[in-house]
A and B are shown apart, each in its own frame.
Chain A
Amino acid sequence: AQSVTQLGSHVSVSEGALVLLRCNYSSSVPPYLFWYVQYPNQGLQLLLKYTTGATLVKGINGFEAEFKKSETSFHLTKPSAHMSDAAEYFCAVSGFQKLVFGTGTRLLVSP
């Protein structure tokens, strides 16, 4: 069975600071990993995904994530936070026939 663990239910950064959201996964098969963003009262938008190939994955809005098999991690980063990045972020792993989501991390960005 697949699962993901997101460390930190809330992360606070200042505008312009580095964003780091942590995700660790557990999977019995080579994982497909995803980061989604959710704005209040909206559905999920795919930020980026790792399936195969290059372990450093670039996504939309300046985000990127690195798949590290040895650490079973897929942390999300952005060099410089913007106020518009404030949202809920979900890490997910693809299981057989479905996605399994982490509990989410709320990113707070202060001016």
Chain B
Amino acid sequence: GAVVSQHPSWVICKSGTSVKIECRSLDFQATTMFWYRQFPKQSLMLMATSNEGSKATYEQGVEKDKFLINHASLTLSTLTVTSAHPEDSSFYICSAIPGRRAPYEQYFGPGTRLTVT
């Protein structure tokens, strides 16, 4: 149980275009989802917290207009990287919390590798 999927697993896009990454909780409802970014050989950096039906809460330094997060249902959150540039190339990982569990009860997706050319 508690499986989180991401789609796509990898994507290559051209500079200036937008790309959408989906995060789904497959067998549970998630009121809260998180989006992380991971640079090569570095730790996970929390980008934003996404709550179903409300606006995402972004961490300091993360551009809200560049990284659009939508948590439209209890099983789906999307991250859209707008006007992508090579410096946005990274590994993006989402996580989800089942129901009303504590914030540390996160289940992680497999990640999406974004390469901007």
Contact = CB atoms under 8 A, between A and B. Distances in A.
Contacts, number: 50
A99 interface: yes
What size tier do the contact residues of chain B reach? Answer: 20 to 34
B43 A44 contact: no
A104 B43 contact: yes
B104 A32 contact: yes
Interface residues of A, number: 22
Nearest to A32: B104
Nearest to A91: B43
A102 B44 CA distance: 8
A43 B49 contact: no
Interface of A: 32, 34, 36, 41-45, 49, 51, 90, 94-99, 101-104, 106
